[in-house]
């Protein structure tokens, strides 16, 4: 059951990151991976156990990839919309 909850949280975070990537403000999507790494680093410093940092960096890279995919799709959609508007003006 625990693995299912972890999987559900992971999918929800990826979906949130993708959604934030499609919004106009790109900063919101960049905050989640950075905040996650910062949180793990602070906890690792407090516990003096740095074994979780590579996993946190990999998870942040996955979140950043989902954010970049969302950004590229949003930019492509915006470009297509502008081309449609230009075509109607002609």
**What DSSP element (H or E) covers 48?**
none
Contacts of 30 (CB under 8 A, 6+ apart): 64, 67
Collapse the DSSP code of 1 into the 3-class scheme (helix H, G, I; strand E, B; otherwise coil) and give the result: coil
Domain boundaries, the chain: 2-89
Separation between Cα atoms, residue 62 and residue 38, nearest integer Å: 16
| pLDDT single digits (tens) 14-52 | 888 888 888 888 788 888 888 888 888 898 889 998 888
Q: What is the token pair recorded at 5?
A: 């909850």
Q: What is the pTM of this model?
A: 0.75
* Three-state helix/strand/coil letters over 5-40: HHHHHHHHHHHHHHHHHCCCCCHHHHHHHHHHHHHH
């Amino acid at each position: 059951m625990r693995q299912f909850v972890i999987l559900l949280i992971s999918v929800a975070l990826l979906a949130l990151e993708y959604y934030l990537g499609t919004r106009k403000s790109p900063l919101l999507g960049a905050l989640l991976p950075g905040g996650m790494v910062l949180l793990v680093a602070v906890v690792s410093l407090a516990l003096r156990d740095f074994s979780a940092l590579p996993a946190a960096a990999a998870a942040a890279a996955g979140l950043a990839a989902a954010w970049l995919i969302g950004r590229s799709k949003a930019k492509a959609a915006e470009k297509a919309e502008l081309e449609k508007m230009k075509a109607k003006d002609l």
